[in-house]
Structure formats: structure tokens, C-alpha cells
């Protein structure tokens, strides 16, 4: 099959539905916002169809002359033989036909539709899974601005406005693109003052734009790419430069524009990561070029992600910096294994601790203080020091029978978990072959498995 999603003007065009039941009603409902001249032919027509004044209903048997002059026909009678007869007739007369629940007989397919004013999004799986198409339609609809129809009406008029005022085609294209981006970001049309100010900027625009850039620190979440926030994903989609780490699902990078410059600064086997000072300098350099820079970091930028250092360094350079939080692995990775970091009657607090410092120490805080805490202890970046962490906590009075777990997630949303006690968790983890990155959980909730 080679289905291509043409958008055809069907307003005022003659169309026919053979059948008057629920399926016919659903098909008609999708069509009516596009204003075809629609006729329904069936011995019995549903009340819903009959009461629609914009539909011509004929309660009688189908005849071959009914298809004459039609741009397209839909066979939805519930009678397989009749549907096949209608389809064959349409093929002979070169009329596009859709047959309900019979993909092979169809000359065109009904997509899952998103319709907001002048915006129409059609989604098809070539009939393989209408449920999947419906799911994607729902996701698409959720991401649209609430005032989409107003925005498109404004942007349509803006094309005439720009054509009358900006002679240079490159400047005009830049003006229209930025206006569209601002409308989507603000979830509304631009005001008259905003429109005039933006137009004035492009009228005075030199060949090289020297407006200041901005850096947005975006938390990618942990594990699979779909744990990023909607706001974070929208930032990635608008990036001109994308600076990313190793602990970021590669599928997120595909959401950046094709023209986006992607720069990897994380760790790979046999190669060290870029020093933090160089990353700070890189971000500043790109922002000073007037670029929209996204710094994409695994988890949350401010939870052992060095986001604070980057923000301070950029602010020192006078660069605008924003931050979009991400889902931190300290909560999400244990949850993937059914471990809550807090649970009534078991833990009223949780404490997130780095398991590795710049000096190579496994416990930056006083082990005695940590051992005395009654809540859940969550260690990040501590896999290689697990035995040392457990040993220091037990040496300072933490019971070796305290429940403990080590959890490792991946970009597919899968998880591996080892449960034990503070006294044996290091051995069990080594036997299971779990290495970094992994999250260490110590406390009563570590023995909980909400997924079992």
C-alpha cells in the first residue's frame, strides 16, 4: 500500500454514505466540519443523521445512480455484500471509496483527526491499528495551545501585513517564523504593540543578528525519553544548539530541528567527558552568538547535575539562563522497581546523597549523622562505592539488617533491581552484575515491591 496524506478541499463537493447506522454516523461526524454536500442513503437512518440539517437523508435502498457526480463514497451499510457492490461500482467509475472494516477494498482511509480551526492533523497506520492512531491523536491534541484557532487566524492575516511592510523576503520569512514561535510559546496571538515592535526589529535588521541568546537548562528525566516534561520537550524542539550528556535517551535528540547543532559533552567508553569549565565556556560562546541554546541533562539539572554551577557561570557572563525541571532518578528509578521513597508508617522523609564527590570520597557528610537518620537514604552515583557506603553506615550504628536495594533503569523503561540488607547488598549486587549508573536505596521502604 502507498497511502499519501493529501489534503483535498471537499467543501461543497458531492459525497455519499451508503448506510445509516452508528458507523455511518461516526464517518459523517468527521466529515461535517469540512462542509461537503453529503447524502446518506439507507432503508433506515439513525436519528442523529436524520436530525442534522446539513445532511441529505434518503430512507430507501441504494441504487447505482446514487454515486453519480460524487467526489467520494463511503460504504458503511453493515451488509458486506452491499459494501462490496458499492466498492466495485466506484472502482469502475474511478470514484474514491472507503469501505468500513475492509481495508483491502478501500481506495482511501479515514485518518484519526485533530481539527482546530484551520489546523488539521490526520494520522493513519494504514489500517494496521486504528487504536494506535487514536492514541497518537490524543497526544497531539494535548500539545496544542488552547487558542489554536485564534492563533492561526492571526498568523494568516499577518502574512498580508508582512508582505506590505517587509520587502526583503529573508527578513519577512524570519519575521513570520518568529511571530509563529512567539504565538505558540505565549498560547495567544501577539498584541498590536508586540506585532509592531517585532516588525520594526526586522525592518532594521542587519545581515548579522546580534541579539543576545539564551541558555535553557532542561532536565531530560531519567530512563526512557517519554519521562521528559512537556515544557522540556518543547524547549528541545526550538533549540538551535543542543548540548547533551550521556544519560539522555537518544530518541530525545530526534525532536530537535534538523538545523540544530548537537554537541555531546558526556562520557563514552574510552573517552573522558568535557571538563565542566569547558562546558560553561561552550554554553556562553553559543549564547553570545545569539543562539537559543538548550543544555539537556539527565534527571534534574539541580540534583547533582551541576546545573547550579552552569547557571552561575552564565549569569556572570551576563547571559539569560532559564531552568526547566526534570524527573530525578532519586525518585523515579526506585519507583520503576516498585519502591516508594516515602510510605506512611515506614518513612516520613527521604534524603538524597551523592555517592561520589570530586575528591573521590564515598560519603561527603558525616556517616554518623546519616546512620542516625530514620528516613530513606537514596544514594546517586555510588555504585562503585557501595561496599564502602554500607560499611561506614554499619560502623556508625546502622543495623546490618536494614533493608537495602540497588536499582538500575535503562532508556527502554526497563529496570533491574537487587534487594537485600545493608549487610549483604554489596555482595548481592556484584553477583547480579549490576554496575553504574544505579540508585542505592537504604531504609524500610527498600524491601517494598508495589509491582509484585
Reported as a single tens digit per residue, the pLDDT across 84-108 is 999 999 999 999 999 999 999 999 9
* Catalytic-role residue among 66, 171, 245, 398: 245
Count Cα atoms within 13 angstroms, Cβ side, for 175.
28
C-alpha cell recorded at residue 427: 555482595
What nine digits make up the cell of 90? 466506484
337 and 443 housed in the same domain: yes
Mark whether 41 and 25 lie in a shared domain. yes
pLDDT band at 366 (very low <50, low <70, confident <90, very high): confident
DSSP strand pairing (415-421 vs 403-409): antiparallel
Indicate the residue among 327, 360, 381 that finishes a domain: 327
Of 277, 310, 327, the residue at which a domain comes to its end is: 327
For 218, the 3-state DSSP assignment is: strand
174 shares its domain with 221: no
Whether residues 255 and 195 fall in one domain = no
Residue 240 lies in a domain: yes
In a domain, 319, yes or no: yes
Of 10-14, 148-152, 198-202, 356-360, which range is least confident? 356-360
Please report, for the domain that includes residue 424, its CATH number. Answer: 3.30.950.10
Q: Total domain count for the chain?
A: 4
The answer to whether position 77 is within a domain reads yes
Q: What is the pLDDT of residues 190-247, one digit of tens each?
A: 999 889 989 998 988 644 444 567 899 999 998 888 899 988 998 898 899 999 988 8
The Cβ of residue 325 has, within 10 Å, a number of other Cβ atoms equal to: 18
Distance CA 191, CA 75 (A): 48
Query: Are 232 and 340 in the same domain?
Result: no
Task: Tell me: do 355 and 258 sit in the same domain.
Answer: no
With a threshold of 0.75, does the pTM exceed it? no
Whether residues 343 and 365 share a domain: the answer is yes
Dihedral pair phi/psi, residue 422, rounded to 5°: -60, -30
Same structural domain for residues 314 and 337? no
Q: What is the pLDDT of residue 182?
A: 86
| CA 229 – CA 239 distance, rounded (Å) | 16
Rg of the chain (C-alpha set): 30
Choose one of 327, 345, 362: the last residue of a domain. 327
26 plus 106 within the same structural domain: yes
Query: Domain check: are 377 and 346 in the same one?
Result: yes
Are 171 and 220 part of one and the same domain?
Answer: no
Would you give the DSSP letter of residue 268? B
Q: What is the pLDDT of residue 209?
A: 45
| Grid cell digits, residue 47 | 436519528
Residue among 22, 177, 267, 315 flagged as catalytic: 267
**CATH code: domain of residue 92:** 3.40.50.720
Catalytic site residue 267? yes
Residue that has been written with the C-alpha cell 553559543 in this structure: 286
* Separation between Cα atoms, residue 361 and residue 288, nearest integer Å: 37
Is the residue at 1 inside a domain? Answer: no
Domain presence at residue 120: no
- The C-alpha cell 466506484 sits at 90
Q: Is 181 a catalytic residue?
A: no
- Domain residues for 265? 214-327
Report the percent of the chain where pLDDT is more than 70. Answer: 95
Residue-wise pLDDT for 236-283, tens only, equals 988 999 999 888 888 999 999 989 999 999 854 445 578 999 999 999
Going by C-beta distance under 8 Å and a sequence separation of 6 or more, which residues neighbour residue 174?
202, 205
In a domain, 428, yes or no: yes
For residue 379, being part of any structural domain is answered with yes
Identify the band that residue 144 occupies on the pLDDT scale cut at 50, 70 and 90: confident
Strands 112-116, 214-219: pairing kind? unpaired
CB 416 within 8 A of CB 397: no
pLDDT tens string 292-313? 899 999 999 999 989 999 999 9
Residues 277 and 171 in one domain: no
Cβ 206 vs Cβ 281: under 8 Å = no
Residue 143 maps to a domain: no
Amino acid at each position: 500500500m502507498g497511502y499519501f496524506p493529501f489534503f483535498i478541499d471537499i467543501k461543497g463537493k458531492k459525497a455519499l454514505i451508503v448506510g445509516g447506522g452508528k458507523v455511518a454516523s461516526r464517518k459523517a461526524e468527521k466529515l461535517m466540519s469540512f462542509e461537503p454536500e453529503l447524502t446518506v442513503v439507507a432503508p433506515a437512518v439513525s436519528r442523529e443523521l436524520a436530525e442534522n440539517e446539513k445532511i441529505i437523508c434518503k430512507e430507501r435502498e441504494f441504487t447505482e445512480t446514487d454515486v453519480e457526480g460524487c467526489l467520494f463514497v463511503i460504504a458503511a451499510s453493515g451488509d458486506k455484500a452491499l459494501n462490496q457492490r458499492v466498492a466495485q461500482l466506484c472502482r469502475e467509475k474511478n470514484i474514491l471509496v472507503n469501505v468500513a472494516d475492509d481495508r483491502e477494498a478501500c481506495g482511501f482511509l479515514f485518518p484519526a483527526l485533530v481539527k482546530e480551526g484551520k489546523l488539521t492533523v490526520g494520522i493513519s497506520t494504514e489500517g494496521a491499528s486504528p487504536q494506535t492512531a487514536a492514541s497518537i491523536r490524543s497526544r497531539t491534541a494535548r500539545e496544542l495551545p488552547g487558542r489554536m484557532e485564534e492563533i492561526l487566524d492571526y498568523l494568516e492575516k499577518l502574512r498580508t501585513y508582512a508582505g506590505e511592510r517587509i520587502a526583503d523576503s529573508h527578513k519577512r520569512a524570519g519575521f513570520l517564523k518568529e511571530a509563529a514561535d512567539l504565538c505558540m510559546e505565549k498560547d495567544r496571538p501577539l498584541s498590536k504593540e508586540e506585532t509592531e515592535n517585532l516588525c520594526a526589529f526586522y525592518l532594521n535588521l542587519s545581515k548579522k543578528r546580534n541579539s543576545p541568546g539564551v541558555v535553557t537548562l532542561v532536565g531530560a528525566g531519567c530512563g526512557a525519553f517519554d519521562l521528559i516534561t512537556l515544557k522540556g520537550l518543547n524547549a528541545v524542539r526550538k533549540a538551535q544548539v543542543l548540548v547533551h550528556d550521556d544519560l539522555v535517551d537518544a530518541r530525545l535528540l530526534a525532536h530537535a530541528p534538523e538545523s540544530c547543532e548537537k554537541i555531546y559533552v558526556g562520557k563514552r567508553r574510552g573517552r573522558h567527558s568535557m571538563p565542566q569549565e569547558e562546558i560553561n565556556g561552550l554554553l556562553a560562546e553559543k549564547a553570545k552568538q545569539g543562539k537559543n541554546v538548550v543544555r539537556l541533562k539527565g534527571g534534574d539539572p539541580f540534583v547533582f547535575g551541576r546545573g547550579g554551577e552552569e547557571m552561575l557561570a552564565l549569569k556572570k557572563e551576563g547571559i539569560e539562563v532559564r531552568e526547566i525541571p526534570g524527573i530525578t532518578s532519586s525518585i523515579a528509578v526506585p519507583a520503576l522497581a516498585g519502591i516508594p521513597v516515602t510510605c506512611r508508617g515506614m518513612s516520613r522523609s527521604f534524603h538524597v546523597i551523592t555517592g561520589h564527590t570530586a575528591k573521590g570520597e564515598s560519603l561527603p557528610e558525616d556517616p554518623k549523622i546519616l546512620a542516625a537518620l530514620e528516613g530513606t537514604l537514596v544514594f546517586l552515583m555510588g555504585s562503585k562505592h557501595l561496599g564502602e557506603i554500607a560499611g561506614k553506615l554499619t560502623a556508625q550504628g546502622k543495623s546490618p539488617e536494614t533493608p537495602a536495594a540497588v536499582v538500575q533503569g535503562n532508556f527502554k523503561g526497563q529496570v533491574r533491581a537487587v534487594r537485600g540488607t545493608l549487610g549483604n547488598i554489596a555482595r548481592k549486587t556484584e553477583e547480579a552484575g549490576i554496575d553504574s549508573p544505579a540508585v542505592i536505596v537504604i531504609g524500610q521502604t527498600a524491601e517494598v515491591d508495589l509491582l509484585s
